[in-house]
Amino acid sequence: MLSQLERSMQSLITVFHRYADKDGDCNTLSKKDLNELMQSELASFLKSQKDPAAIDKIMKNLDQNGDGMVNFEEFVSLVVGLSIACEQIYQLHIMKASAKK
């Protein structure tokens, strides 16, 4: 039986490959693939972005090797960055709740 963390890692891998497989190369996301993934899987994050070029900027930042594609390692850096930001917001909420007591 998988632990919660193992299920989370499995889910991350599964989601990446679900979108990467769309263009024939199951190891990378094209800009179109990344856009579809973010529209479906990170819709709340995209709604909070005021910049219409957010996907272009994200793609440019993720594509560390400059090949115009996002591999799994590059994709994970997006997930890690978003997770860190969410955890920081969580900590702020905890601090505010503690201050009210």
Task: Give residue-wise pLDDT tens across range 44-55.
Answer: 877 777 777 888
Residue range of the domain that includes 34 = 4-100
| Number of domains observed in the structure of the chain | 1
Could you tell me the CATH number of the domain that includes residue 56? 1.10.238.10
Task: Give residue-wise pLDDT tens across range 33-89.
Answer: 998 999 899 888 777 777 778 888 888 888 888 888 999 999 999 899 888 888 888
DSSP state of 52: T
The angle subtended at Cα 39 by Cα 38 and Cα 41, nearest 5°, is: 60
What's the whole-number average pLDDT of the chain?
A: 87
Question: Residue 71's beta-bridge partner residues?
Answer: 28
Confidence of residue 97 (pLDDT cuts 50, 70, 90): confident
Residue type, 49: Q
